[in-house]
């Protein structure tokens, strides 16, 4: 199985269990974690890119508390977006 075929299979399995809203929330946390980790490693350009993704997905979730939580985490790690 190719990597894209594997990704499609994983996507199908995920979409059978989760709503778009759940996926947006999980994705916001995943990108935010990457942003904070990149900051810890001194990779600020990467951290800022990951933070943009986190903010986008948090905003798309429609959950203002999540968006605020993501922004607070980024601020603690001095990530400017």
Per-residue pLDDT, 70:
98
Per-residue pLDDT, 76:
98
Reported confidence tier of residue 12, pLDDT bands at 50, 70, 90: very high
Domain edges within the chain: 19-76
d(CA 60, CA 5): 27
Give residue-wise pLDDT tens across range 28-74. 999 999 999 999 999 999 999 999 999 999 999 999 999 999 999 99
Torsion angle, alpha carbons of 39, 55, 28, 75, to 10: 40
In 3D, which of 61, 60, 58 has the Cα closest to residue 28? 58
Task: Quote the tokens at residue 40.
Answer: 């810890």
């Amino acid at each position: 199985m190719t990597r894209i075929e594997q990704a499609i299979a994983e996507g199908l399995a995920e979409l059978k269990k989760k709503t778009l809203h759940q996926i947006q929330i999980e994705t916001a946390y995943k990108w935010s974690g990457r942003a904070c980790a990149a900051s810890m490693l001194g990779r600020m350009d990467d951290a800022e890119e990951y933070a943009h993704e986190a903010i986008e997905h948090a905003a798309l979730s429609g959950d203002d508390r999540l968006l605020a939580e993501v922004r607070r985490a980024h601020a603690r790690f001095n990530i400017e977006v």
